Amino acid sequence: MKIFKNAQVGSKSCLKIDNLQQRVACLADAGAEAIDHRLHELDSEWTAGRATKAVIGVLIVIGFALTALMNPWWLILPAAGGIFLLQYLFTRSSWLGKMFHEMGFRTGFEVDQEIMALKVIRGDFRNLPTFLDIENQEDISRLEGEGGIVVEPDTSKVAPMEAAKVALEATRH
């Protein structure tokens, strides 16, 4: 069953889909140009972590500027920024990052998972060796000697939804 058979589906309409697997399947069905466009968009997407670090940087810079120009009490801002950085250092998250995530910013992992799934579907890793490509010559010789199958079966085209499911599963590990 193909959910996104329409050839007119572009990357814009795929972005409206909240479910990551369905969005990746939609982009796979839309073609290589839609995947390339989405990958370009993902390269510049702001994550919750990036927004958190930007706010902390602004707190520190503005706090020191206001301290130098106005009043030493403005050192509270860079101190707050330092506390946020320390919290992130020891817990790998902060309440500021969680706030940005609740506002709709995705985590870096979520963005990276979509990037990797799209690259897998696009075929970026097709020519890289995997442990499945490593053949045990002794087993192959024994199989051929016993009259086993020597011809590789024809590969069939995978449906976009199935490809998205497999690609996302592979990026979770």
What pLDDT, on a 0 to 100 scale, did the predictor assign at position 8? 38
Amino acid making up residue 66: L
Q: Which residue has the higher pLDDT, 43 or 139?
A: 43
Which bin fits 155, alpha (ψ -120 to 50), beta or left (φ > 0)?
A: beta
What pLDDT, on a 0 to 100 scale, did the predictor assign at position 168? 79
Of 50, 47, 58, nearest to 113 by C-alpha is 47
The separation between CA 59 and the C-alpha centre of its own chain, rounded to angstroms, equals 29
Q: State how far the Cα of 92 lies from the Cα of 141, in Å rounded to an integer.
A: 51
What's the mean pLDDT when you consider all of the chain?
A: 79
- 121 pLDDT above the threshold of 70: yes
What pLDDT, on a 0 to 100 scale, did the predictor assign at position 6? 40
Q: What percent of the chain has pLDDT over 90?
A: 37
What pLDDT, on a 0 to 100 scale, did the predictor assign at position 147? 55
Question: Which whole number is the average pLDDT over 62-66?
Answer: 94
1-38 pLDDT, tens digit per residue, is 344 444 334 567 788 888 888 998 899 888 889 999 99
Question: Which whole number is the average pLDDT over 64-92?
Answer: 90
Q: Which residue has the higher pLDDT, 110 or 153?
A: 110
What pLDDT, on a 0 to 100 scale, did the predictor assign at position 165? 79
Is the whole model's pTM more than 0.85, yes or no?
no
How many Å from the N-terminal Cα to the C-terminal Cα in the chain? 27
What pLDDT, on a 0 to 100 scale, did the predictor assign at position 28? 87
